[in-house]
Amino acid sequence: MSEKPWDGRFAERTDTSVEAFTASIQTDKRLYPYDIEGSVAHCRMLAKVGVISDDEAGALSEGLWAIKRELDQGKFQFDDSLEDIHMHIEARLLQTIGKVAQKLHTGRSRNDQVALDVRMFLREALLRIIQGLVDLRRVLTNLAEQHIDVIMPGYTHLQRAQPVLLAHHWMAYYEMFTRDADRFADCLKRTNVMPLGAAALAGTTYPIDRHHTAELLHFPHIAANSIDAVSDRDFILEFLSAASICMVHFSRMSEELVLWSSSEFRFIELADAFATGSSIMPQKKNPDIPELIRGKTGRVFGDLIAMLTLMKSLPLAYNRDMQEDKPPLFDAVDTLQSCLDITVKMLPTITIKTDAMRRAASIGFLNATDMADYLVGQGVPFRSAHAIVGHAVAFALEQGKELHELTLKELQAFSKVIQNDIFDHLTLEQMISRRQSTGGTSSDNVRAAIEAANRQLGR
C-alpha cells in the first residue's frame, strides 16, 4: 500500500517540509469523536445498500470504536506525514483490521467528511452554549429578584440620568442574552444539515442512501447541492457573527462590573475568589475576571474577521484554504464557553452596596425630568417646562443644593404653578413607581418581566 492515498499519481515523495506545512492534525485531532461516529454511520449505510457486506461493516465499526478508545485514553500516536485526523484513523484502521479498512472510504471524500465533522462539532458546541445562556439568564433573574427594591442611577453618556431599579438593569442584560440564545438556536438550524454523500463535489456513482446516514447521525436535513455541501462554511460565519455579538454583551457587562467595583463608584464588591491582587501594591483588589472577558472579546472578533477573509475569494468548490477554518472556530467556541462558565459562577457572588447606589441616585439632579413632568401635569407645555427646570437646576447648582432641597418659595420663583405636592414627585420611590409605561422601570413592570422570564426559562 502507498503511504498516501494519492501516491499512485506522484513520482516523488512529499517533502517533509511540505508535510509539516500542510499538516492540520494538531488542530483537527479534536474532531476524532465526530469523524469516527460519521465513519461508522457511513459504513452501516454502505452495508444497507449492498456496497459492502454486513460482516465488513461490522469489522469496520468494531475497528473504529477500538480506535476511539485509544484516542480517548491518549494512547494514539500522531504523525504529521498523515496530515489530518481522517488519514490517521484510516491508517490505524488498516493496521488493526487489515485490507477491509480500504473499503471505508468508498463513496465519500475528505471534502464531505471534514464538512460533516465540523458540523457535528459545532452542533454539539451550540447546544452547550445555548444551555449555558439558559444558566446565565437564570442567574440574572435571580439577581433581579434579590434586588427588586434596590434603586441606582441609570446612565446615558456615562452621566447620571434617571433613577432605575437595579433589577431593571439586570433584566436589560437578560434581554441581550436572550437575543443571543435565539441567534444561536437559529444558527443551529443551518448547522444541522448533513453534507456527507456529496463526495469531492459532484456526488458519487454508488447507490448511497444519504437520508439513512442522516437518520443515523441525527441530522434533520441533508445538503441539497453537492458543490455547496463541500464548500459551504456559512454556518461557521454565522456562528462567529453570533458569538461576536454575544461577546459584545459580555464585554459591556464586564465594563460595568469593572467600573462599579472601582473606588469611584463603589457600587459592588467582587468576591475574593473572583479577583486578584497586586504583586507590589498590598491594598489592591483587581477585577481581573471582567477585564479578561472584556479583553477576550477581541479574540472572537478576530476569529470572525479571519474566517470572513478566508472565504471571501474562494471559487467553488473545496479549496485547501478551508483547512484554516478550524482554528478560528475552535478558538471562538472555547473562548465564549469559558466566558459563559466563569460569569455564571462569578455573578451570584457579587456583593451589592445598596446604600452607595441609592446615594448616587439621590444627587446630580436625577429628578429634573420628573419636575418637568410635574409642570406638564399643571398645564405647562413640555418645552417650556424643560426650560423652567433648566433655570431651577442652574440656581440649585449655585446654591449647592439638589432640586428637592430647594424651598417651595425658591421653586415658585421659576413657576407659580408649583405647589407643595411637588416634593412627593421628586422622591426616588415616586420616580420609580410612576414609570409604568411598558418596559419601564416601575416595580410592577420589573416584577412582571421577571415572571415572564422565569416562564420562558421553564421555572
Residue 67 CB partners (closer than 8 Å, separation 6+):
36, 76, 89, 92, 93, 96
Comparing CA positions, the residue from 133, 138, 61, 49 lying closest to residue 93 is: 61
Reply yes or no on whether 278 is catalytic.
Answer: yes
Grouping H, G, I as helix, E, B as strand and the rest as coil, residue 156 is: strand
Kindly list the distances between the CA atom of residue 64 and the CA atoms of 39, 197, 297, in Å, as whole numbers in the listed order: 8, 20, 39
Q: Which of 2, 157, 313, 437 is catalytic?
A: 157
Comparing CA positions, the residue from 167, 176, 177 lying closest to residue 450 is: 167
Reply yes or no on whether 169 is catalytic.
Answer: no
Q: Which of 53, 218, 221, 278 is catalytic?
A: 278
Three cell numbers written together for 32: 476524532
Contact 418, 408 (CB under 8 A): yes
Residue 349 CB partners (closer than 8 Å, separation 6+):
270, 271, 273, 274
Residue 327: Cβ within 10 Å count: 15
Three cell numbers written together for 244: 461576536
> Which bin fits 11, alpha (ψ -120 to 50), beta or left (φ > 0)?
alpha
Contact 421, 381 (CB under 8 A): no
CA–CA dist 422, 410 (Å, integer): 13
Residue type at 40 in one-letter notation: V
Contact 349, 271 (CB under 8 A): yes
Grouping H, G, I as helix, E, B as strand and the rest as coil, residue 165 is: strand
The residues that are catalytic are 157, 278
